[in-house]
Amino acid sequence: MLITTTERIPGHNYEVIGEVFGVTTQSKNVLSNIGAGLKNIVGGEIKAYTSMLHESREKAITRMVAEAEDKGADAVVMMRFDSGSISTDMQSVVAYGTAVKFID
């Protein structure tokens, strides 16, 4: 599945199928939260949360692609991410875009 953040795919014409998205909500365990709290005092990267966000983005893309495939799409254009905190230890990530079918 071709995924692009651009509106046009050079060399291809396509018809729009519609919006597709994939969402996931992740949290870390209590020990990670304690470690993050301590890191917050001294500063620096909180690697457990960086890893969690990376994993969340990958899951969201996978789910978006699955929805696009279910709709018969060949590609997703204008792909974007959105994220937000649900509580102090939960993060939601959404990957979304427009599913398209090649006509050339």
Contact 100, 18 (CB under 8 A): no
Task: Return the pLDDT at 48.
Answer: 75
Residue 82: domain span:
2-102
Task: Select the more confidently predicted residue: 34 or 28.
Answer: 28
Average pLDDT over residues 75-87: 90
d(Cα 15, Cα 33) in Å, to the nearest integer? Answer: 46
pLDDT confidence bin for 30, thresholds 50/70/90: very low
Indicate the number of domains in the chain.
1
Give the global pTM.
0.80
Contact 17, 100 (CB under 8 A): yes
Contact 24, 60 (CB under 8 A): yes
The fraction of the chain above a pLDDT of 90, given in percent, is: 60
CATH number, domain with residue 67: 3.30.110.70
